[in-house]
Amino acid sequence: MNLQSYLNSSLFLQNWQLLLFTFLVIFIISFLIHKKHNNTRTTKLDGQEYIGVNFTKNNSDTEYSEYVPALEEKEHVPYNGAVITLPGKAEQFYKMMNNRRSVRIFSQTKVPIEVIEDCIRAAGTSPSGAHTEPWTFCVVGCAKLKQSIREIIEKEEELNYEQRMHRQWITDLKPLRTNHIKKYLTDAPYLILVFKQMYSFLPDGRKKQHYYNEISVSIATGILLSALQAAGLNSLVTTPLNCGPALRNLLKRPSYEKLLVLLPVGYAAKECVVPDLKRKPLNKIMVTY
């Protein structure tokens, strides 16, 4: 067989257009899959999860031009520094905060919702990574919903105490006299469930990354605790183990929100007692250089 007849009989060469087309289609599909994977890949850095971020690759100027900032360009305006301050300032603030205690025995005395709103407004002034404001404060005053929350938490807490928590953990909690019964969840007039948003969506549908969302929401929660204290209200930071998804579903929050803490909020009951804890003195928590 000479070369010409060999070439004529080769199936490969007879169908070269079809083959070229198939290769091109495969190439385009794999390119698109790779691009999508890069955009949705979760990278862990510094204990935080980032979606669609490739930290190992140096972004060149041309690559930057593809991106649109999540935060729109803003004019920079003059700022006079902190001018609205409390009388007595830092010392007064310290005394007020030193009076804060975790309350687990609440009275059912009602709290005006406007006070709660102001406290949450204050929390919303918190700094946040790239000004993403990654928080949702769910305020539950409805008795039926509080009962459902209590049922979810008590069921899980019973398992936590009996099976999930290490003996050392249970032992460490003994001085606080906590157990799986959480009467404060139905006694306190409000429960504030603080959710951290891992990401959100821009109006054009693009995913907006929430950098350092846990740190940001924790700072906001600290401000919330301070505001509640300033309003003469009591609260308790709780972290109900293994209840996050059930509570998120109950409150119909989206899957990209995760429960950070739950705070019962109200007035301490007359019979309220707290463990006589001491706080570390300044020289044990501050180091001057």
Residues that bind ligand FMN (CB under 6 A): 101-102, 104, 176, 178, 236-239, 274, 277
Helix (H, G, I), strand (E, B) or coil at 94: helix
Half-sphere exposure of 250 (CA within 13 A, CB side): 20
Q: Which is nearer to ligand FMN, 241 or 250 (CB)?
A: 241
Based on the number of CB atoms within 10 Å of its own CB, is 104 exposed (0-12), middle (13-18) or buried (19 or more)? Answer: buried
Q: Which is nearer to ligand FMN, 200 or 235 (CB)?
A: 235
CB of 90 to ligand FMN, least distance (A): 20
First to last CA, the chain: 90
For residue 240, which of 139, 149, 142, 136 has the smallest C-alpha distance? Answer: 149
CB of 83 to ligand FMN, least distance (A): 31
Determine phi and psi for 265, rounding to 5 degrees.
-135, 135
Q: How many CB atoms lie within 10 A of CB 133?
A: 19
Contacts of 219 (CB under 8 A, 6+ apart): 126, 127, 128
* Measured distance CA(51)–CA(40) in Å, rounded: 5
Q: Which is nearer to ligand FMN, 33 or 176 (CB)?
A: 176
CB of 283 to ligand FMN, least distance (A): 19
Dihedral of the alpha carbons of 127, 131, 133, 134, in degrees to the nearest 10: -110
Q: How far is CA 104 from the centre of its chain?
A: 24
CB of 26 to ligand FMN, least distance (A): 51
Amino acid in position 16 = W
Q: Which is nearer to ligand FMN, 104 or 253 (CB)?
A: 104
What residue is closest to ligand FMN based on CB? Answer: 102
Q: Which is nearer to ligand FMN, 111 or 153 (CB)?
A: 153
CB of 241 to ligand FMN, least distance (A): 7
Angle between helices 113-123 and 213-230 (to 10 degrees): 140
Q: Which is nearer to ligand FMN, 102 or 107 (CB)?
A: 102
CB of 76 to ligand FMN, least distance (A): 36
Q: Which is nearer to ligand FMN, 9 or 239 (CB)?
A: 239
CB of 223 to ligand FMN, least distance (A): 14
